[in-house]
Amino acid sequence: MENKRENSPADRKLVEKALRGDTNALNTIIKNTEGLVTQIIFKMISNIEDRKDIAQDVYLKTFQNLNNFKFQSKLSTWIGQITFNTCYSYFEKKKLILPDNIKNEKETYEEPLEIIGNKLIDISTNETEIHVFQKELSDILNTEIDKLLPLYRTLITLYHNEDLSYTEIAQITGLPDGTVKNYLFRARKILRDRILHNYKNELL
């Protein structure tokens, strides 16, 4: 994925209009970034009512500080950063732990790779079976992603669902690029290990 650090001229125009109090521009900013903001909030916060409050809070903060936006990143990345920080403040306020638990997530499972491998090779020739397998995997993934730490869930989503680069994710989360990469590798390994461990029989 390429580095998308630069902002677009469209962002600049939008911000200028919004600063002049143009309601349509404010609305466009929300519509353009709502997907990313929602993803981060849903992955970080589990309480439904708190999600609603945080989403509003994010945009109120955004518009209050819009004149401080220096165009050093894309507008969506900046709003993503505000969203992540707002969620982080929520964790601090609620005395929840975000990054310290990461070590405990490092689990490994031994799995009969030969058996799973044979199954994968068998189904790889049949399109329907692949589709069914992927549907089953998707349901399982939903459950297992929810069990991950909020930070891991967010990183996985930003990278794979929102197609953000490591640099953009680093800007949003305030973590170094290398740490983002390492956490992503670790999160995928945990997911794979858990799925193979918990759903071996269902998938085979």
Interface residues with other proteins (CB under 8 A)? Answer: 23, 26-27, 30-31, 34-35, 38-39, 42, 51-52, 55-56, 59-60, 63, 113-114, 116-117, 120-121, 124, 133-134, 137-138, 141-142, 145, 156-157, 160-161, 185, 188-189, 191-192, 195-196
Contact 88, 40 (CB under 8 A): no
Residue at 15: amino acid letter: V
In whole angstroms, the minimum distance from the beta carbon of 187 to other proteins comes to 10
User: Rounded to whole angstroms, how far apart are CA atoms 118 and 172?
Assistant: 41
Place of tokens 């071996």: 200
Contact 184, 177 (CB under 8 A): no
In whole angstroms, the minimum distance from the beta carbon of 16 to other proteins comes to 17
| Diameter over CA atoms, the chain | 64
Residue at 82: amino acid letter: I
Nearer to other proteins, 72 or 124 (CB): 124
In whole angstroms, the minimum distance from the beta carbon of 113 to other proteins comes to 5
In whole angstroms, the minimum distance from the beta carbon of 45 to other proteins comes to 11
Nearer to other proteins, 31 or 95 (CB): 31
Nearer to other proteins, 156 or 172 (CB): 156
User: Rounded to whole angstroms, how far apart are CA atoms 22 and 13?
Assistant: 11
Nearer to other proteins, 102 or 145 (CB): 145
In whole angstroms, the minimum distance from the beta carbon of 163 to other proteins comes to 9
Nearer to other proteins, 72 or 143 (CB): 143
Contacts of 58 (CB under 8 A, 6+ apart): 37, 41, 79, 82, 83, 86
Burial class (CB within 10 angstroms; exposed 0-12, middle 13-18, buried 19+) of 111 = middle
User: Rounded to whole angstroms, how far apart are CA atoms 31 and 38?
Assistant: 11
